[in-house]
Structure 1
């Protein structure tokens, strides 16, 4: 190998290393941007959720209805009157919990941030609503997969509970 060929090989190796370092930096930057965007979207969701009067009133009513029952019985009886305040409140809470669960399960919402903020609330709502969800699935309405993302999220959180950080 001549000295000229030797330097061509060295330059080719250096160019290849620089190319791969650049690709790695680009990948890292894109990954970091995605993670930061997801965290920001999650924080915005939390802020929206905390200031959403309709949702908060629906959660309060759902809690009241559930606490009036024994062993958090099925609340699906309130779906008989589609225009009732109770029906609308239950649908609001169920649909919101499903929306968030879909976002988390599809990696659009940062699970760790949301879990830190709403772990107890989500598990409480599942306790209040699981019999209702099972009744919706078993009914003749034809919704065998209703709120399955919410259930999937709760089951994962129950297997991996929030750890004490203090």
Structure 2
């Protein structure tokens, strides 16, 4: 009977030792698996954060582009002036004419918006056009039609601003 006990103890010890070794290796594999899962989860989270950041940055760029384009359009509208119809009568005849009218306050306000939105090149071209308009505004607003020399200057300054604005907008 003594040998039966020895065999039973050896078998039990072998089973326990085998279970312990298997458990140890299983635990090691489980830890490695958990670490790999954590790393993969972290990488996925980082990728998601990067995607969201890039999307938000693109939305900010698009919004900034839209605001800048609108500011440039407002400046061009102010710099293009409005038109009014005038009717003058001389004797029995009434004569209708259209003439350009520029609003100093609209031009200055629109210029300040361009200055605020930038960039410096567009603001510099807007300043040149604004200064030109303000310098010639009395003669433009008092007569129908713009004198040809002034019209050429204004046209060149307007084109320079449009060119700078397009460059700023990436076009």
TM-score normalized by the length of structure 2: 0.40
Q: Which has the larger radius of gyration?
A: 2
Q: Which of structures 1 and 2 has the larger relative contact order (alpha carbons within 8 angstroms, sep 6+)?
A: 1
Higher strand share: 2
TM-score normalized by the length of structure 1: 0.41
